[in-house]
Amino acid sequence: MRGKGIAAIVLGALLVAPASALGAPPPEGAAISSNLEYVTRSPEARGITEGKFDEVRGKDVLVITGRFGFKTYDVSDPAKPKLLDEFIPNDLAAGGYWQNEDMELDTKRKLIIGALDPRHTDAPLGACPAGGSTSIPACRSGFYVISYANPSDLKQIGDFVDLPSGHTSSCIQDCKYIWTGGPARRSDQLWLGPILGPTAPAPYTFARDVGNGRPIWVTDLTNPYRPEVSDLPVDIWRNDGYTDYSHDVDEDEEGIAWVSGRGGIRGYATSGQHRDPYTNQWRKATPFEPVLVGGGGVAGTAQPVMLMHNSGRPTDGSVRASGIKRGNVMVGTEEEFTRPCEASGKIVLSDLTDSWGGEPASKSSLTAPYRMKALDTFHPFIDTPETSDPALGCSAHYFEIEGPLLGAGWYGQGLRLVDISNARDVRQVGYYRITSTTANESSNTWDVAFRSERKKGDLVYVFDMNRGVEVLRIKKGGAYSSRSMKAVTAPSVKSAKGASQPVASLVDDGGLGFVCPLFQ
């Protein structure tokens, strides 16, 4: 994509916009494209990793999670968010919550599903050391269930659900079932298969890790007071025939559960009759015994490790590619912090066409790997003239898709808005980033969310670990006008004093220190 729309890109480089008549002044150190205006900030939400919306008792409510545990806000007036309540389990208060970066909301039962990673600190300390560990079995993992039926009075429902995995917990079939995955292997999980590294002996000499991760464990949460946990995991053999790190799950509008992790993005049916590609037999798919139906390895990634962080499959026709059937575009994030910035994680758009049926992924091996065809990729330092101090952190992270517009959290690179209406030619059409040399914190953006605002366009909520929650407004038509937006380039950053730098995830990183890391 390098070299597209040069005139528009040069123009975009100048778009460090002043405040509009309607918006608030952007913070000191802001680079903000002219199609965005600044609305407000909630700095007390520092440490945030994720946020999601619901309507409760006639109020627009934002639920967020982060190092602080959980908070609820009344956001009926986006310019004046009101903190309603906050909650953290007592035994986690001293060390902070970790990590729940893809928190789920059961909007029917008003329940928060909050994953707990084994790299946390319980109080008082037991057999698990301070900072937790991926390898020590005594470091518990799983998820909490918390009611927000009264957003001003958050309450835990039932006991902590203790699982052999616990980095993310995702809803399946309207949260009747929960799929929980990651992080790196525990010492008592070697039965999941071998762990191979780049220095493994022949014939396993290759430039990537294989096997050092936990797959998905399934919980029946029909009754949140009596959860039923699967005996065996799912999403095994995901990395060219080896069981590996299942990072996150995104269920599409057709009910297919897409699991991102090391080895690619694999889609599973959890209901109906399907042919199992491993047995060549038709059978009923369930959340406990899903059937692989599509996806696989991802081509076009920056690094051969191929740690796919999260995904989304647009099915409404807003995202198209010439010669590709509607619904056959898969969008995925690669998380990777390799220097220089151009070698860090990308957003990759893949063609699902020849993956359907699951046969290619089921047969993929180290010697005969299957990879979906890449339609296009995006990284701001490959696809625009922008450059940056790598101390800012240059990897893509979570995104949200609203029609043809993708909003991505890019760690130290802030918010990036990308028009993906043409999956073969994606373009950056907006940005917001703080690069500060003062006490005003630089960006460390983990996720974003879109929210429609009557008669005023679409809001973009930016969830930033350093800065809390920031609210922006898309001007003139909102997200669905992205096709007509000009390609833009954020101003380059030559220095980044005081920037947050990624460091190993707490104490024991199990070889995955830069998968959703902590920051200095």
The residue ranges of every structural domain in the chain are: 6-519
Per-residue pLDDT of 27-59, as tens digits, reads 999 999 999 999 999 999 999 999 999 999 999
What value does the mean pLDDT take over residues 486-512?
Answer: 67
Task: Flag the least confident range among 129-133, 428-432, 499-503, 509-513.
Answer: 509-513
Higher per-residue confidence, 424 vs 305: 424
Over residues 200-222, the pLDDT tens digits come to 656 555 667 899 999 999 999 99
pLDDT grade for 487, boundaries at 50, 70 and 90: very high
Higher pLDDT, 436 or 417: 417
How far is residue 112's CA from residue 155's CA, in Å, rounded to a whole number? 10
Q: Count of CB atoms within 10 A of residue 366's CB?
A: 16
User: pLDDT tens digits for 305-343?
Assistant: 899 999 999 999 999 999 999 999 999 999 998 888 889
- For range 375-398, the mean pLDDT: 91
| pLDDT score for 510 | 46
Q: Above 70 in pLDDT, residue 175? A: yes
CA angle 116, 464, 404 (to 5 degrees): 100
- For 390, list phi and psi in degrees, rounded to 5: -65, -15
285-296 pLDDT, tens digit each: 999 999 999 999
For 428-484, the pLDDT digits (tens) are 999 999 998 777 899 999 999 999 987 677 999 999 999 999 999 999 889 999 999
Q: Given pLDDT bands bounded at 50, 70 and 90, which one contains residue 4? A: very low
* pLDDT higher than 50, residue 499: yes
Q: List the strands of the sheet with 30-32, edge to edge.
A: 30-32, 427-434, 415-419, 405-409, 399-402
The one-letter code for the residue type at 84 is: L
Question: Cα(473)–Cα(486) distance, rounded to whole angstroms?
Answer: 17
The answer to whether 322 touches 381, Cβ cutoff 8 Å, is: no
Q: Which CATH class is domain 6-519?
A: mainly beta
pLDDT value at position 19? Answer: 42
Q: CB of 510 within 8 A of CB of 135? A: yes
